[in-house]
């Protein structure tokens, strides 16, 4: 009998308890032995929940109970989630989590502690909710050198951008609606400023390249400044606007960044709408593969959490090929100023200025749309585009600059 503890009885924690209970038969068949949820740790009591009698308030009971071999950390936030995870791993208990903040900030250390204590630390649910992506990066694509990963990693912002695109509504109006529907938090900063996507991007980079970049240091631009006019111009040019977590490796240097991007309607990421997530992996042998599905939500996220639990229950930790991360040093990190891509630049300028702009931006495309001049620049490094925009902007006010994917 495997005894399980769940830390945190919020949305994902209660979803995990439900999946473990409702699909107990197929899970036990797969695992080959019975299991039980022994404790649920939460500050609150849940007298009306069928799991109410398992709720305790003292973490020490869990970490000191030798019967507990598997812990699901569903608390969110860095502390005490990190501290509890560390204590469990040091006690030889395996831990699964959906907590991207802890994985992105402390993943290197926690993976090492798990290994040293014969335990496993798994986090399939920390990126892409119920979508399989961590294990595919670790196993299915293990014969490849991964070169880049691009993802729509945040359901809230993708819902907002999809609504803006389809209904022509403003960012502020759609955000308000999303908050009313429960798709966005009362304080939406972590979503709309891109921090949530940044943490997931860092986890994907560490899985792809073996190096953990500090999520607090990466370039991170949110969607609060995107207007319906930007949407219209992008659409006329054949692009959707998506918040993209991007990571790549070039000459051994890793870049992680989050920003709105123009995504061509002819590519599969453009079709990822509403609260769904999509992650596109570039690898040297397979080319491009994409995974798509529900990037959040109670049961989809719990589905991935429980898949990790099954992996742990059916294997010894030695039988699980855990990823090994090291923390990236400044040597490992690409100078963001050298990162080059095409850009959409929208200016208040007459069409007669087109020739000047073509030459200034090495532009491949200039369109007069919606009373503005929209320029698709050559592939330019960040430092170069910044300089050019300052120079050109002195004559023609620039209203928008969005990178292309």
Cis peptide before 80 (omega within 30 of 0): yes
Helices and strands per DSSP (H, E), number in the chain: 14, 20
What CA–CA distance (Å, rounded) separates 175 from 226?
Answer: 12
- Choice between 194 and 300, CB closer to its own copies: 300
Would you count residue 21 as binding its own copies (CB under 8 A)? no
Tokens of 127: 């990126």
State the distance between the two ends of the chain, measured CA to CA, in whole angstroms: 50
Q: In angstroms, give the least distance from the CB of 43 to its own copies.
A: 27
Taking contact as CB under 8 A, which single stretch among the options 20-28, 160-168, 190-198, 213-221 is the one that binds its own copies? 20-28
Name the nearest CA neighbour of 58 among 97, 16, 87, 31: 87
Please identify which residue in 49, 78, 144, 217 interacts with its own copies, judged by CB under 8 A: 144
Taking contact as CB under 8 A, which single stretch among the options 105-113, 135-143, 215-223, 386-394 is the one that binds its own copies? 135-143
Please identify which residue in 115, 117, 135, 229 interacts with its own copies, judged by CB under 8 A: 135
Q: In angstroms, give the least distance from the CB of 50 to its own copies.
A: 17
C-beta atoms surrounding 56 within 10 Å: 16
Please identify which residue in 92, 136, 354, 381 interacts with its own copies, judged by CB under 8 A: 136
Please identify which residue in 96, 114, 131, 175 interacts with its own copies, judged by CB under 8 A: 131
β-strands 372-376, 219-220 pairing:
unpaired
Name the nearest CA neighbour of 59 among 107, 15, 95, 103: 95
Say if CB 72 and CB 5 are below 8 A apart.
Answer: yes
Angle at 319 between CA 317 and CA 321, to 5 degrees: 90
What residues numbered 293-352 form the site for its own copies, per CB under 8 A?
A: 293-294, 297, 299-300, 302-307, 309-311, 314-316, 318-319, 321
- Choice between 219 and 292, CB closer to its own copies: 292
- Choice between 194 and 294, CB closer to its own copies: 294
What residues numbered 152-211 form the site for its own copies, per CB under 8 A?
A: none
Name the nearest CA neighbour of 263 among 137, 155, 151, 133: 151
Would you count residue 118 as binding its own copies (CB under 8 A)? no
From 54, 200, 242, 342, the catalytic residue: 200
Please identify which residue in 116, 172, 286, 390 interacts with its own copies, judged by CB under 8 A: 286
7 DSSP β-pair partners: 41, 73
Please identify which residue in 112, 237, 291, 358 interacts with its own copies, judged by CB under 8 A: 291
Would you count residue 357 as binding its own copies (CB under 8 A)? no
For 293, phi then psi, to 5°, come to 165, -165
Tokens of 324: 């090994």
State whether residue 53 is helix, strand or coil.
helix
What CA–CA distance (Å, rounded) separates 344 from 204?
Answer: 27
Would you count residue 222 as binding its own copies (CB under 8 A)? no
Angle at 304 between CA 196 and CA 112, to 5 degrees: 70
Size of the site for its own copies (CB under 8 A): 51
Would you count residue 80 as binding its own copies (CB under 8 A)? no
Q: In angstroms, give the least distance from the CB of 316 to its own copies.
A: 7
For the question of residue 250 being annotated catalytic, the response is: no
Q: Which residues are catalytic?
A: 200
Sites of contact with its own copies (CB under 8 A): 19, 23, 26-27, 30, 124, 130-132, 135-136, 139-145, 268, 271-272, 283-294, 297, 299-300, 302-307, 309-311, 314-316, 318-319, 321
């Amino acid at each position: 009998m495997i005894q399980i503890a769940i830390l945190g009885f919020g949305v994902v924690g209660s979803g995990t308890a439900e999946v473990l209970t409702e699909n107990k038969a197929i899970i036990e068949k797969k695992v080959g032995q019975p299991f039980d949820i022994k404790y649920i740790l939460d500050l609150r009591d849940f007298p009306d929940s069928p799991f109410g009698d398992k709720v305790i308030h003292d973490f020490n009971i869990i970490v000191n109970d030798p019967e507990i071999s598997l812990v699901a950390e569903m608390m969110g936030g860095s502390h005490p989630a990190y501290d509890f995870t560390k204590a469990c791993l040091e006690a030889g208990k395996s831990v699964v989590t959906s907590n991207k903040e802890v994985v992105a900030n402390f993943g290197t250390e926690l993976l090492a502690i798990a290994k040293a204590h014969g335990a496993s630390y798994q986090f399939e649910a920390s990126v892409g909710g119920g979508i399989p992506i961590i294990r595919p990066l670790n196993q299915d694509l293990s014969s490849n050198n991964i070169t880049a990963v691009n993802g729509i990693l945040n359901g809230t912002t993708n819902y907002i951008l999809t609504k803006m695109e389809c209904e022509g509504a403003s960012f502020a109006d759609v955000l308000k609606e999303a908050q009313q529907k429960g798709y966005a938090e009362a304080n939406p900063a972590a979503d709309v400023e891109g921090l949530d996507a940044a943490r997931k991007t860092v986890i994907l980079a560490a899985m792809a390249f073996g190096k953990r970049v500090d999520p607090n240091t990466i370039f991170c631009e949110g969607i609060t400044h995107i207007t319906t006019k930007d949407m219209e111009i992008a659409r006329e040019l054949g692009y959707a606007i998506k918040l993209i977590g991007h990571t790549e490796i070039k000459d051994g240097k890793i870049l992680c960044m989050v920003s709105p991007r123009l995504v061509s309607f002819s590519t599969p990421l453009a079709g990822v709408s509403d609260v769904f997530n999509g992650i596109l992996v570039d690898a040297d042998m397979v080319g491009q593969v994409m995974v798509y599905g529900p990037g959040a939500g109670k049961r989809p996220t719990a589905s991935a959490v429980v898949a990790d639990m099954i992996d742990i229950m059916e294997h010894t930790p030695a039988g699980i090929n855990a990823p090994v991360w090291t923390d990236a040093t400044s040597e490992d990190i690409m100078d963001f100023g050298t990162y080059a891509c095409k850009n959409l630049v929208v200016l208040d300028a007459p069409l007669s200025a087109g020739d000047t702009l073509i030459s200034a931006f090495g532009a491949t495309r200039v369109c007069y749309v919606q009373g503005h001049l929209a320029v698709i620049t050559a592939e330019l490094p960040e430092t170069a585009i910044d300089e050019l925009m300052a120079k050109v902007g002195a004559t023609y006010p620039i209203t928008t600059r969005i990178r292309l994917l």
